[in-house]
Each structure stands twice: as C-alpha cells, then as structure tokens.
Amino acid sequence: MLRALIFDVDGTLAETEEVHRQAFNATFAASGLGWQWSPEDYTRLLRTTGGKERMRSYRQEIGAARPTDAEIAELHAAKTERYAGMIAAGGLALRPGVRELVAGARRSGLRLAIATTTNRPNVDSLCAACWGQPAEALFEVIAAGDEVSRKKPAPDVYTLALERLRIAPEQAVALEDSRNGLLSAQGAGIATLAVPSSFTGAEDFSEAQWRADSYQSADLPDFLRDVVAASNQPARTSA
C-alpha cells in the first residue's frame, strides 16, 4: 500500500537548475576565478551530483590546479547564499501540477518526504520562495545531500528518507527528474516516476516504473491522478 511520496528537489519541484547555473557564474565572477558555465556545460556537469563535486569535476576536466578543495567549499557556500537571494527576489515557480500534487497528497493522508542531493539551506529557500512556508511545514522528512557520505546515484539519501519515515521501500514512490536520481531511488528499492526537467530530457529513464512529461494531472499515472483530484477535497482526519 502506498504510504509516502518522496520528492527530489532541483528539477522536480521547480526548474531550479538555470538559477543554480546563474548563481555559480555570478559567484565565479565575484571571486575572479574566470569560470563561466554555459547551459551546455551545465547540462553535462549535472551528471555529477553535488555542487562542490561539480566544481571539482570541472577543475579536473580543464586541468586546473585551483581552486583548491578548501576554496571550492568557500565558493559553494557563497553560491548557496547567492542562490537563496536570487530565488527570494522572485521569478522561481513550482513546476506546473506540483502544488496540486503536494496538496492532494496531504489531503489523502499520504506522507511527504524529500530526498535530494542539494543541501538543506537550498531546500529551505525553495519552500520559502514557492510556498511561503518552511520546508518542515510541508514535508515530514527531509533527507539532504549534506547528510550522507555518498550522493546520487548512490541510494544513501533515499535509504535515509525511508529510515526516517520508518516505512518499507515498497510503500513509497519516488519522483525524480534525472537518471542519477532514478538510479538512487531504485537502488533503495523504491518505484519511481520520472518527469524530466529542461536540463535532463535527453537522459535515459528506461528503468523507471512510470514516466510523464509533466506533473499536470493528465500526464500522471492513474494512482497519482487520484491524489491530485483530492487537492480540492477536505483534508482527511484521523478517527
């Protein structure tokens, strides 16, 4: 029996990756580093999960000695702060259908969780910007990338979410936009709905149990259409 929906964040709840790219580039410029990631660069770099990991991968790709790992950590902290300011200023919206799906899940009595590669401050910033609420008011469990030793495609963050929910893998469905996320969820034994984002449409989602073009009700598998339909119904109360 389905008991929980576990959401990825970037590219799943909202099309955040372009804002992340701009925040990285602005941080690089402010530091005098001289890096500039194009949309094509960033699409390729997204195959490496985690912002600090992405910077280290790019450093290796171009054969640079700097920034050092310590400098990368400082750059990433500055980028996180810049990203939060950018989305707080407006312009970021939830992907169409996400608001109704989350509301319907809550009214249906499903539990909601986050399993993301990004760090907790980015989760908080998105929920404040898009819902005007703290993340913990929306999601019972939040498992973030800075809490696990291995990021997606390793299953660690989904395993952590399951442990905190205290449910079995077969009682949850994961919602993902990337192949790394799909592999992570399935590595934890969780059936997955893949809804590619603007940066991940060319990736391979052949292992997903379900695939949709959007979170609009008509695109979703039947069991999630029923959840969305509940968004207009009174919240379920316990006996």
Q: Which residues are catalytic?
A: 8, 10
SS3 55: helix
Tell me the two tokens of residue 154.
Answer: 């390793």
Distance CA 38, CA 30 (A): 17
176 contacts 182 by C-beta, under 8 angstroms: yes
Contacts of 171 (CB under 8 A, 6+ apart): 1, 2, 3, 4
Q: What angle do CA 205, 172, 235 make, to 5 degrees?
A: 120
Contacts of 62 (CB under 8 A, 6+ apart): none
